[in-house]
Structures are given as structure tokens and as C-alpha cells.
Amino acid sequence: MFEFQNRPNAPHLLETGERVQLPTIYGSFELLPFMEIATGKEHIALTKGPVENKKSVLLRIHSACATGDLFGSMRCDCGEQLHRALQAIEQEGRGVLIYLQQEGRGIGLMQKMKAYKLQEQGVDTVDANLQLGHQADERDYRAAAEILRQLNISQVKLLTNNPNKKSGLEKYGINVACCIPLLTEPNPHNAFYLQTKEKRMGHLLGQLNFENHE
């Protein structure tokens, strides 16, 4: 259990909701919702076990992916990463999953579908965003860092293949002790997508085997 800490000197970024128990197929968690004051975006922190003032807390920062998380899309690895992260936290017995409303690497659902259409025409995921006038990745982790501070967590073990998440958290004062890979098996629908993330976005996917899907 943790207690919300009012920090009068901190920027008033988030409104905190009611903490509730959340039994899931992976185990029991506590859910605490947050809302960004400036944007109205709502985020979620799922916590397992004692995390307040603990070092090297296992953490997954997961950006919302309606297609992958809700519908099990095989075009990405998001849904599988989400479920594997919850399993890892349950196994560890202590940890946090922060679910951020940053659909489509920050461009939103409507623009993401336009990017999907371009990908169906052979454009890779990076160039699809660029052709639509966006950056390859527009996500920001300030809200995640503030959620961690409100949970009194300053050091984490980050479940990610994306080194930009590490730098994105450290930019806002969170100490990332290490990154732990969260690899999923490629399939014929997402192999090119994953290879693009490795080659053009620096994701650490060297252990994956793409030979059967090229």
C-alpha cells in the first residue's frame, strides 16, 4: 500500500483518482487513475506489493494501443508485451505498470489508422508517421515520471526494448537501474514492423529470429 503525497513545490500536473483493488487473470493489483490537468488525458498505475520508497522497482511503461491491447492485433507486439509485463510483475511480487494514453506513439488513433493505411501500401512504420507530418515517435514520459514520484519511486528496473524510454524517464529525474528486454515472437503480420523498430528506431531486438517471416 502506498499513500499519495502532496508535494507543494512540484508542478500541479496530475489529478489523482480513487485507488481500488483489481483482481486480474494474472493476479491481484491496485489500480490508481490519474488525469493530466492540462490535457484531460487519463492514465493508469497498476501496482503490486510494497513499492513506496523501494529501490529498483520493476516497471513497465505501456502506451495505449487499442488495436493490440483490446483486439489482439498481430500487426504489432503491444498486446503481448502488456500481458507479459503483468505476468513479470506478478512473478516478481512487486512492481508497477503505468498505462499512458499515447496511442500510435503519440499521434492518436485517427492518425494511427492513416499510418496503417500507408503501411498496407508498403510504407514502413517510421516513414508512415513522417509522411503524415509527425515524428517517428512523439511520446513523452513526463506524466509517467510524475506518477512515479507520487508513488514515491525514484529508481526502477524498466521492462522495455526501447532505450528511448530509459532516457525519457531519466530526463525527468527517474533513475533507471537497468532495462530488461520484453521480447515477443515475430509473426508474418508484424515481422517487418519489428525489423523497422530495430533498424530505424534503435529498439534492442537482436535476439529475435526474423528468418521465417521475411
Cβ atoms of 41 and 35 within 8 Å: the answer is yes
Which residue in the list 77, 137, 142, 200 is annotated as catalytic?
A: 137
**Binding residue per annotation — 94?**
no
**Binding residue per annotation — 81?**
yes
Let me know if 139 is a catalytic residue.
yes
**Binding residue per annotation — 196?**
no
**Binding residue per annotation — 60?**
yes
**Binding residue per annotation — 61?**
yes
- DSSP symbol at 94: -
CA 182 to chain centre: 11
Cβ atoms of 126 and 136 within 8 Å: the answer is yes
The candidate with the shortest Cα–Cα distance to 146, out of 37, 17, 48, 14, is 14
**Binding residue per annotation — 67?**
no
**Binding residue per annotation — 160?**
yes
Please name the residue that has the C-alpha cell 525527468: 172
Which residue in the list 77, 124, 139, 149 is annotated as catalytic?
A: 139
Please name the residue that has the C-alpha cell 490535457: 39
**Binding residue per annotation — 168?**
no
**Binding residue per annotation — 179?**
no
**Binding residue per annotation — 62?**
yes
- DSSP symbol at 115: H
Let me know if 94 is a catalytic residue.
no
Cβ atoms of 167 and 68 within 8 Å: the answer is no
Antiparallel, parallel or unpaired: β 175-180 and 28-36: unpaired
Q: C-alpha distances in angstroms, 200 versus 82, 127, 162?
A: 23, 10, 12
- Tell me the catalytic residues: 137, 139
- Detail the residues annotated as belonging to a binding site for Zn(2+): 65, 76, 78
- Detail the residues annotated as belonging to a binding site for GTP: 60-64, 81, 103-105, 125, 160, 165
- Detail the residues annotated as belonging to a binding site: 60-65, 76, 78, 81, 103-105, 125, 160, 165
